[in-house]
């Protein structure tokens, strides 16, 4: 019989371990501030206490990976949620920023064996950003926080490594 792990559903009396760190870019703050509100609401609804949430502001999306790396290195941090907004301009700089940030965050997640949720909007227009930060397309800050929560649950379900803190069990 195939066994299924469904980490999208909270367990009775669930208390998720550790700290949830949020790295949020100040650039396009009218958008990223709304993403942060969405992420914080989602964590609160999941029962994460305020004292188990850390928020660090960075200048822009380019700086997100360094702050995320520092949080990922901390043994008490269970997940990192990254929030930013890169809007295409007249040049192609957005492509380079988006690729570098997304690739860096994925690599950090793999290197540190911790969820690093990607809540960085990569949009063509300000209207698209508005719609994705609480508008008619939802709030990607909520979605990033939900992804982080689900991945922490999955790590617990798969098994924690006693030698390296919270993380995936090593199958030797």
Express the helix, strand and coil content of the chain in percent, nearest 5 each: 45, 20, 35
Q: Does the annotation mark 93 as catalytic?
A: yes
Provide the strand spans (E) within the chain.
Answer: 19-25, 53-58, 77-87, 116-123, 133-135, 138-139
Report whether 149 contacts 43 (CB < 8 A): yes
SS3 104: helix
> Which of 15, 4, 12, 141 is CA-nearest to residue 78?
15
Whole-number Å distance between alpha carbons of 117 and 20: 11
SS3 160: coil
Q: Which of 93, 96, 124, 159 is catalytic?
A: 93
The CB density around residue 139, as the number of other CB atoms within 10 Å, is 22
Report whether 68 contacts 82 (CB < 8 A): yes
Q: List, by residue number, the catalytic residues.
A: 93
């Amino acid at each position: 019989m195939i066994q299924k792990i469904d980490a999208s559903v909270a367990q009775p009396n669930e208390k998720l371990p550790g700290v949830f760190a949020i790295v949020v870019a100040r650039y396009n703050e009218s958008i990223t501030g709304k993403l942060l509100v969405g992420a914080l609401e989602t964590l609160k609804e999941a029962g994460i206490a305020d004292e188990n949430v850390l928020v660090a502001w960075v200048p822009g999306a380019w700086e997100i990976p360094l702050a995320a790396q520092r949080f990922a290195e901390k043994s008490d941090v269970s997940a990192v949620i990254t929030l930013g907004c890169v809007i295409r301009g007249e040049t192609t700089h957005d492509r380079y920023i988006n690729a570098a940030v997304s690739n860096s965050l994925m690599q950090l997640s793999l290197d540190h064996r911790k969820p690093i949720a990607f809540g960085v909007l990569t949009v063509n227009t300000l209207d698209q950003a508005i719609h994705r930060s609480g508008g008619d397309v939802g709030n990607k800050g909520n979605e990033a926080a939900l992804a982080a929560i689900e991945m922490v649950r999955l790590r617990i379900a798969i098994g924690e490594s006693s030698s390296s803190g919270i993380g995936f069990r090593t199958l030797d």
